[in-house]
Amino acid sequence: MAQSEFEATRERLLKFVKGIYDTLKQGEVPEILMPSRNRDNIVLDQKFAVWRYGDLKVTRSAKYVDGAEYMLKSLYMIEFILEMIRNAKTSTLREMYYISEGWKNGKFGTQDESNIMAEDLEVMTALLREDFRLRPEENGASVIGNLTLEERNRKGEFKKINCKDDVGEAGYSIPYNVDNEKVRLKDVDADFVLAIETGGMFDRLVENGFDERFRSVLVHLKGQPARSTRRLLKRLNEEMHLPIYVFTDGDPWSFRIFASVAYGAIKTAHISEHLAVPTSQFIGITATDILNYDLPTDVLTDKDVQALQAELKDPRFTTDFWKSEIETMLKMNKKAEQQALAKYGLDFVTDKYLPDKLSGTNDMEE
């Protein structure tokens, strides 16, 4: 991101601070009004076809101790962000948590608290974490396929990379910021993107040459995907016009991985239009697959059952397909991993399972 754009971030943060200052100067108690960030306040945004926060609001008022402490910590965080902008530095979320240990007041009790504060600050200022120069502890996952991009290096120069020819077996490592100021998508010779939950299955498809045989770009989601991974999927879909298919395990947590890719996650519902791909299609392990392929399974845990029951009420799972699959899984009391397909050999997933799934969704042929 260019320094001029960080200047825009600086101005917006200072405007937020000035609002609090002006309220105090007028002898009034400052308040922060923001959307309630829970499942009950998730609604469908008709314009973008993603799930966003609705009209329910919460108020943080300095009139109360908790509200005053919240406001104090937000101001400390803003001061820290402004310092990073001045010095052209970045920080991991973990470092920011430890930075608070040096604050005279307003220390965070846990990293979860500081992470949530960073998300709240995004909501309050309509900015992104990347604008704050904050990054996760780890980068996103990996990409393999005939995708050519340019990535800005430490010297500020763009370096061309082909995600098939210029990377090793692990693929191209997705950086924490994949917007156009950092990563430029230049060209792609592929028909679709396959987003894969587990590292083991990603490696299997790479070893079996799935990306070349089926003209695809493979993206390792690395479990619940980082926002940089979801942002890249969004850009591949919008800018390179590639359909997104999501291949996961067959359990409630994997279903939520798909939902976060397709419709957005609850904690990041304020930026779903930047991350979610509503046209994504699920080709992961389903309850029907477990029955049809007689896959090895594990018994659902109590937490699995609770999660599936919650998904029946989740607005992201209201279609007949999801209702049927979730109810079937509850009735079976079974779940299965992607690797369960290895029951039929190491090539089964690339020779039979995925071609059949892709053919069923998009009439694709090998």
pLDDT at 218 over 50: yes
User: pLDDT value at position 73?
Assistant: 94
Summary mean pLDDT of the chain: 91
The confidence band for 363, taking pLDDT boundaries of 50, 70 and 90, is very low
Q: What angle in degrees, to the nearest 10, is found between the helix axes of 111-125 and 65-87? A: 80
142 — pLDDT class (breaks 50, 70, 90): very high
Q: Which of 109, 115, 38 is nearest to 315 (CA)?
A: 38
The burial class, CB within 10 Å (0-12 / 13-18 / 19+), for 105 is exposed
Single-letter amino acid, residue 51: W
Whether the CB-CB separation of 51 and 269 falls below 8 Å is answered with yes
Q: What is the pLDDT of residues 284-293, one digit of tens each?
A: 999 999 999 9
DSSP letter (8 states) at residue 269: G
Q: What is the reported pLDDT for 362?
A: 44
- Residue range 23-31: average pLDDT? 94
Confidence grade of residue 297 (pLDDT, cut at 50, 70, 90) = very high
Q: What is the mean pLDDT of residues 219-236?
A: 94
pLDDT of residue 242: 98
* 98 catalytic per annotation: yes
CB atoms within 10 A of CB 329: 25
Q: Is the pTM of this model over 0.75?
A: yes
| Confidence bin at 1 (pLDDT 50/70/90) | very low
- 3-state class (DSSP) for residue 73: helix
Write down the pLDDT at residue 328. Answer: 98
- Which domains does the chain possess? 3-135 (1.10.10.10), 142-362 (3.40.1360.10)
Q: Parallel, antiparallel, or unpaired: how do β-strands 298-299 and 334-335 relate?
A: antiparallel
pLDDT category of residue 361 using cuts at 50, 70 and 90: low
Instruction: Give the bridge partners for 172, in sequence order.
Output: 143
Mean pLDDT, residues 191-220: 96
Q: Name the catalytic one among 21, 76, 97, 98.
A: 98
Q: What is the pLDDT of residues 53-103, one digit of tens each?
A: 888 999 999 999 999 999 999 999 999 999 999 988 889 899 989 988 888
Separation of alpha carbons 329 and 288, rounded Å: 8
Weakest-pLDDT range from 109-113, 165-169, 218-222, 309-313: 165-169
**What is d(CA 83, CA 72) in angstroms, rounded to the nearest whole number?**
17
Structure token pair of residue 202? 């990603």
The pLDDT of residue 319 is above 60: yes
